[in-house]
Amino acid sequence: MRRPFVAGNWKMHGSRAANETLLAELERRLKPEWPVEMVVCPPFVYLADAARQLEGGRVGVGAQDVCAEPVGAFTGQVSAAMLVDVGCRYAIVGHSERRRLYHEDDALVARKFAAAQRAGLVPVLCLGETLEEREAGATEAVVARQLDAVLSIHGAESLSKAVLAYEPVWAIGTGRNASPQQAQDVHAFLRRRMAAQDATLAGQVRIVYGGSVKAGNAAELFAMPDVDGGLVGGASLSADEFQQICAAAAART
């Protein structure tokens, strides 16, 4: 049985005061007995504070991005080792906002994936098609290309310490989630693609869905056999919504 995984991507939201309140509320609401890996991903500048506040608890801390290089003259960048140093255990790589707004391509995402793993972080690798690509019937080709960029360089084994996040671009921040069946179809495709290289591993890798997940649709999405949890944007800024989403993931087990 794969352990459900739910991560909140706070994007560029928050303040020291607001974060402290939200995290205290999450610590109060997220039940330690839920068999769910729960993670929050605040902006870089708040990671150390968040890790300190959550230390020893049930909620892990992740970054929203990571530099592909280990150290050096890379103004504005944050290395994987620095993230580990301040208490992070995860890093999102290849989020569609990074791919689209900051022109990150598959090769760079694969390097970020490897940099995160080398430092001991669990990469959360985001994959997903745009609306135009879906309408052109290219969804599988797009996510296969994005997955293969990592598989071909780092091998299937590298996915044993990673989480995949299927995030259709048209569903992110739009309020329009993929239907449970649309999500299931892509997750099953990704699992088959991994299975072609390593069937045992393919059965173990968590594939979570992201794109307008909220309290009202989490249970039906997580009821699908290959949907192992969620990567949650907007709804993760509400303790009540995030609690209900984590509860829906716990009910899956």
Determine whether 167 is an active site residue.
yes
Taking the complex as a whole, how short is the minimal distance between the CB of residue 248 and ligand PEP, in angstroms? 14
Crossing angle (nearest 10°) for helices 16-29 and 47-54: 30
CA dist., res. 60 & res. 13, Å (int): 18
Pairing of strands 206-210, 163-166: parallel
Residue 200's nearest CA partner among 239, 169, 162, 157 is 157
Q: Which residue, judged by CB position, is nearest to ligand PEP in the bound state?
A: 233
Phi and psi at residue 158, to the nearest 5°: -65, -20
Residue with the two structure tokens 């509400």: 238
Taking the complex as a whole, how short is the minimal distance between the CB of residue 240 and ligand PEP, in angstroms? 15
Residues near ligand PEP (CB under 6 A):
9, 11, 167, 172-173, 210-213, 231-235
At 56, the amino acid letter reads: G
For ligand PEP, the closer of residues 119 and 231 by Cβ is 231
For ligand PEP, the closer of residues 119 and 234 by Cβ is 234
Contacts of 76 (CB under 8 A, 6+ apart): none
For ligand PEP, the closer of residues 53 and 236 by Cβ is 236
For ligand PEP, the closer of residues 124 and 150 by Cβ is 124
The single residue of 37, 95, 104, 129 carrying the catalytic annotation is 95
Determine whether 95 is an active site residue.
yes
Taking the complex as a whole, how short is the minimal distance between the CB of residue 192 and ligand PEP, in angstroms? 24
> Which residues form the catalytic set?
95, 167
